[in-house]
Amino acid sequence: MEVIVQRDYAEMSKVAAQIVAELLNTKPNAVLGMATGSTPLGLYQELVRLHNKEQLDFSRVTTFNLDEYVGLPMSHPQSYHYFMHEHFFQHVNIPPHNINIPSGTTSNYSAFCEWYERRIGETGGIDLQILGIGTDGHIAFNEPTSSLSSRTRLKTLSKQTIDDNARFFERREDVPVYAITMGVGTILNARKLVLVASGKSKAKAIAQAVEGPVTSMVTASALQLHRDAIVIVDEEAASGLTMREYYDFIYAAKPAAPRA
């Protein structure tokens, strides 16, 4: 696992976006795994900037989102369909038929989850999966105690996740209790993982995920098992890391990418 610490949220977002851009420049038909939430927003804004100012091309890209609330229609302002289209998809040139987001209103959740897994496989698998992290260390909606080999499924949200997400809704009781989410095993199948985290509230979760034991109580710790996982954080989110000096040394010593 590579840990990259940047000065602030803006710098962290630029570094993450550059990793995505480098992939698209070498593999224009890449399959991207997308995450929602406030933390990846800066990454998406930077990708939109690269698309507009530097002609970063998304015309052959396929995307799969990690999760979606159950019960929210696509038009709901707090649905992840709405979030992705508002902040990213409508600003770049990804063909609409290449965009895949779990359905929160399907009539058969089990069948839909099986289809979603098959669809990922049919596209050749996810090349790069973007991830955020919850304050309790979860990735996607894989709450504590989730199996580390889990696949896309219906998941009951924890009280902490509901509390954390209540700020996006008018009332706490409006927060959905269930979600469809990629499983930890699904996420680990991606060829590269990029997890972004910002702020003091994520410091404990990042320390547990990066330096703690691999455990289903902190599903982000499963990234330790992945062959190509990158964790990009700002100074505040890095404040609980005991090996910080070593991570900085590795990043500084990393050879520059060759110019095309």
Q: Which of 46, 68, 143, 235 is catalytic?
A: 143
Q: Which of 51, 117, 138, 235 is catalytic?
A: 138
Let me know if 67 is a catalytic residue.
Answer: yes
Question: 37 — alpha (psi -120 to 50), left (phi > 0) or beta?
Answer: left
Q: How far apart are CA 48 and CA 40, in angstroms?
A: 13
**Nearest to 133, CA basis, from 151, 114, 109, 160:** 160
Q: Which of 46, 51, 67, 117 is catalytic?
A: 67
Let me know if 164 is a catalytic residue.
Answer: no
Let me know if 143 is a catalytic residue.
Answer: yes
Q: Which of 46, 117, 127, 136 is catalytic?
A: 136
Let me know if 174 is a catalytic residue.
Answer: no
* Token pair 């710098």: residue: 11
Cα dihedral 31→136→212→234 (10° resolution): 70
Q: How far apart are CA 188 and CA 18, in angstroms?
A: 22
Catalytic residue list:
67, 136, 138, 143
